[in-house]
C-alpha cells in the first residue's frame, strides 16, 4: 500500500540515506522531510532527489507543535531520526541533547497519539544499554538487556525511548523502537570516527585515537540499517523493540589500522590523545530477533570491502566534506582536540 512518510532529521547521515533508499525501493510513496538543518544537517546530502515529485522538504524544528501537528495530519507514519547524535558534543554541552532528543520526541508523540493508528518508528541506539566488558566476548545486548546509560547523549536517547514506550502503553500508540550499532557509509558528518579519520588522512593530518584504542564498536553499513528500518516499518509488531547490527566487532585500533591500510598510510599518522570521558568499552548486539521474526540480514557490511568502498567515497567526494569542515566545524575541532 502506498504510504506518505514523515521523516525527521532527513538531512543528516542516516536520514538522507534512508530517504534515497525508500525513494528507490518504493517509488510510489511520498516522503516529507522535516529538518531544522543543525550543524550536521546538510541539504546537499539529498541534492540528487530534491526535485522529485515524491519528495518534499520542510525546514523546521521537531519542537514546533503547530508545524508538527500539520505534518502529522498529512502523513501516514513517522520515521523519527532527528537528534543531536554525537557523544563528544554531549560531553561538552548536554542542553541541546535534552531539548531535541527528549522534548522534540515528546512533541512528535503528542501529535502522533491524536491521529488514529498513526505509525511511529523511533530510531534509537545500542548505546542505551551501556557497555560490555572487553574480556567477555560471549556477552551481547539483547532487547531485554536493561537500560543503563553512560553519556548525556545515550541518557537523552534512553529518555526518548522510554517516552515512546509510555505512549504505547498509555495511549495505544502504534510504535516500534529500533536500536542499532555504529553505522558507516557515505554522507556521515566528519566528526564521527570513520569520516574524521579518512578526511584527516586525505589532508595529511594525523588521526586522534582516544586512549589505548582498545574500545570495541560493532559496525554496520548504513544501507543495511535503512533496509532493517523499512522491514520494521512494514512488518514489525506494534510495541516491539528490534536490535540491529552486523556482528562486525572491531577495536578502534583495528579500525584505524584498516583505514590506514586502505589509504596506504603508516602507523606514524596516529596521534594518541586523552581518552573520552566515561568512554564505553564495548558495544555488541544480538540481532537474532529481527533476523528470525522479520527476515532481515545485512548484505553490505562485510569488511574489508565495505570499509574500502566507504573510504573511496570520501576520496571521490572531497567537495562535500571540504565544505562541511569549515566554520563551526573548525571551532569544534579546536575545542575537542586542541
Ligand atoms: P546526524 O547528526 O547526522 O543527523 C541528525 C539530523 O537531525 C540532522 O539533519 C539535524 O539537522 C536534524 N535535527 C537535529 N535536531 C533537530 C530538531 N530539533 N528538529 C529537526 N531536525 C533536527 O545523525 P545520524 O548519525 O544520521 O543519526 C540519526 C539517528 O540515528 C539519531 O537519532 C541517532 O541517535 C540514531 N543512531 C545513529 C547511529 C550512528 O552510528 N550514526 C547508530 C544508531 C542510531
Ligand atoms: O553505537 C551507536 C552510536 O554510534 C550512535 O548512537 C551515535 O550517534 C554514533 O555517534 C556512534 O557513537 P560512538 O561514540 O560509538 O561513535 P564515534 O564515531 O564518535 O566513536 C567511535 C569510536 O571511536 C569510539 O570508541 C570513540 C573512538 N574515537 C572517536 C573519535 C571521534 C576516537 O578514538 N577518536 C575520535 O576522534
- Identify which of 31, 36, 110, 121 has the alpha carbon closest to the alpha carbon of residue 69: 110
- Write out the residue range of the structural domain in which residue 15 sits: 4-188+219-250+278-302
126 is catalytic: yes
| CB of 8 closer than 8 Å to CB of 62 | yes
User: Do the beta carbons of residue 193 and residue 139 sit within 8 Å?
Assistant: no
For residue 158, CA distances in Å to 65, 66, 162 come to 22, 26, 6
Annotated active-site residue in 35, 61, 84, 126: 126
Ligand closest to 271 (CA) is: 2
- Work out the pLDDT band at 198, boundaries 50, 70, 90: very high
Question: What would the mean pLDDT of 218-242 be, rounded to a whole number?
Answer: 98
Residue 241 Cα to chain centre, angstroms: 16
Q: Is residue 55 part of a domain?
A: yes
Decide if 127 is catalytic. yes
* Helices assigned H by DSSP within 244-287: 252-262
- Residue pair 77/119 in contact by the 8 Å Cβ criterion: yes
pLDDT of residue 158 exceeding 90: yes
Atom of ligand 1 at shortest range from CA of 153:
34
For residue 72, tell me if it sits in a domain. Answer: yes
Checking if the pLDDT of 30 tops 90, the result is yes
Q: How many C-alpha atoms does 107 have within 13 Å on its Cβ side?
A: 19
> What's the pLDDT at 127?
98
Using the mean position of ligand 1's atoms as its centre, give its distance from the Cα of residue 225 in Å. 14
In this predicted structure, the answer to whether residue 1 has a pLDDT above a threshold of 90 is: no
Compute the distance from residue 214 Cα to the ligand 2 centre, in Å.
13
In a domain, 321, yes or no: no
d(CA 225, CA 176): 15
Is residue 126 in a domain? Answer: yes
Banded pLDDT at 60 (limits 50, 70, 90) = very high
pLDDT tens profile 266-317: 999 999 999 999 999 999 999 999 999 999 999 999 999 999 999 999 999 9
pLDDT at residue 163, rounded to an integer? 98
Whether 73 is catalytic is: no
Give the pLDDT band of residue 4 (cuts 50, 70, 90). very high
Three-state DSSP class for residue 219: strand
User: What average pLDDT does range 156-165 have in this prediction?
Assistant: 98
Residue 10 CA to ligand 2 centre (angstroms): 20
Return the exposure string of 190-204: e unless at least 16 CB atoms fall within 10 Å of the residue's CB, then b. Answer: bbbbbbbbbbbbbee
For the CA of 157, the nearest ligand? 1
The set of residues, in sequence order, having a beta carbon less than 8 Å from that of 207 and lying 6+ positions away, is 196, 197, 200, 201, 256, 259, 269, 270, 271
- Does some domain include residue 145? yes
Cα–ligand 1 centroid distance for 13 (angstroms): 7
Please check whether residue 153 is in contact with residue 84, taking contact to mean a CB–CB distance below 8 angstroms.
yes
β-strand partners of 319: none
Q: Residue 45 has what pLDDT?
A: 98
Is 233 within the bounds of a domain? Answer: yes
H or E segment to which residue 210 belongs: strand 207-210
DSSP notation for 25-80: H-TT-EEEEEE---TT--GGGGTTTTT-TTEEEEE--TT-HHHHHHHHHH-SEEEE
Predicted local confidence at residue 93, as pLDDT: 98
pLDDT at 35: 98
Task: Report yes or no on 212 lying in a domain.
Answer: no
Judged against a pLDDT cut of 90, whether residue 184 lies above it is answered with yes
Site residues for ligand 2, CB cut-off 6 Å: 85-88, 125-127, 181-182, 192-193, 196, 208-210, 215, 217, 252, 276, 283
Mean pLDDT calculated for residue range 179-189: 98
Residue nearest to atom 19 of ligand 1 (CA): 61
Contact between 153 and 257 under an 8 Å Cβ cutoff? The reply is no
Task: Tell me the percentage of the chain whose pLDDT exceeds 90.
Answer: 99
pLDDT category at 103 given cuts 50, 70, 90 is very high
Looking at residue 72, its pLDDT comes to 98
Output the CA torsion 102→108→112→114 (10° steps): 90
Q: Of residues 153, 167, 187, 283, which has the active-site annotation?
A: 153
Is the distance from CB of 139 to CB of 284 less than 8 angstroms?
A: yes
Closest ligand 1 atom, CA of 39? 11
Q: In terms of Cα–Cα distance, which of 52, 58, 59 is closest to 24?
A: 52
- The span from the CA of 260 to the CA of 255, in Å, is 9
Q: Would you say residue 316 lies in a domain?
A: no
Residues contacting residue 296 through CB under 8 Å, at least 6 positions apart: 227, 228, 231, 244, 290
8 Å CB contact between 99 and 253: no
Could you give the number of structural domains in the chain?
A: 1
- Does the N-terminal peptide bond of residue 299 adopt cis geometry, omega within 30 degrees of 0? no
81 three-state secondary structure: coil
Q: In this structure, what CATH number is given to the domain that contains residue 74?
A: 3.40.50.720
Neighbours of 96 (CB within 10 A): 16
197's CB contacts (< 8 A; 6+ apart) are: 207, 256, 259
Amino acid at each position: 500500500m502506498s504510504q506518505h512518510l514523515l521523516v525527521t532529521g532527513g538531512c543528516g547521515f542516516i536520514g538522507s540515506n534512508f530517504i534515497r533508499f525508500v525513494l528507490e525501493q518504493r517509488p510510489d510513496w511520498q516522503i516529507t522531510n522535516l529538518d531544522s538543518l543543525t550543524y550536521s544537517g546538510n541539504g546537499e546530502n539529498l541534492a540528487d532527489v530534491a526535485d522529485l515529485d515524491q519528495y518534499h522538504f520542510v525546514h523546521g524544528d521537531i519542537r514546533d507543535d503547530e508545524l508538527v501537528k500539520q505534518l502529522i495530519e498529512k502523513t501516514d507514519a513517522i520515521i523519527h531520526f532527528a537528534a543531536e547524535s554525537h557523544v563528544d558534543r554531549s560531553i561538552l554541552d548536554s542542553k541541546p541533547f535534552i531539548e531535541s532528543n527528549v522534548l522534540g520526541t515528546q512533541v512528535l508523540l503528542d501529535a502522533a497519539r491524536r491521529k488514529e493508528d498513526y505509525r511511529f518508528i523511533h530510531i534509537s541506539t545500542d548505546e542505551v544499554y551501556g557497555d560490555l566488558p572487553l574480556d567477555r566476548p560471549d556477552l551481547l545486548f539483547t532487547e531485554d538487556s536493561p537500560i543503563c546509560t553512560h553519556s548525556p547523549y545515550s541518557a537523552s536517547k534512553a529518555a526518548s525511548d522510554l517516552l515512546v514506550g509510555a505512549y504505547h502503553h498509555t495511549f495505544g500508540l502504534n510504535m516500534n523502537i529500533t536500536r542499532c550499532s555504529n553505522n558507516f557509509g557515505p554522507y556521515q558528518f566528519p566528526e564521527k570516527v570513520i569520516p574524521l579519520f579518512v578526511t584527516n588522512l586525505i589532508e595529511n593530518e594525523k588521526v586522534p585515537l582516544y586512549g589505548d584504542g582498545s574500545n570495541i564498536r560493532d559496525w554496520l553499513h548504513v544501507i543495511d540499517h535503512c533496509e532493517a528500518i523499512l522491514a520494521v516499518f512494514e512488518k514489525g509488531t506494534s510495541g516491539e523493540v528490534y536490535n540491529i547490527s552486523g556482528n562486525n566487532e572491531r577495536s578502534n585500533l583495528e579500525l584505524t589500522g584498516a583505514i590506514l591500510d586502505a589509504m596506504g598510510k603508516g602507523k606514524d599518522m596516529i596521534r594518541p590523545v586523552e581518552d573520552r570521558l566515561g568512554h564505553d568499552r564495548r558495544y555488541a548486539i544480538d540481532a537474532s530477533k529481527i533476523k528470525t521474526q522479520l527476515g532481515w540480514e545485512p548484505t553490505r557490511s562485510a569488511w574489508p570491502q565495505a570499509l574500502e568502498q566507504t573510504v573511496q567515497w570520501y576520496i571521490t567526494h572531497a567537495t562535500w566534506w571540504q565544505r562541511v569542515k569549515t566554520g563551526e566545524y573548525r571551532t569544534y575541532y579546536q575545542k575537542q582536540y586542541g
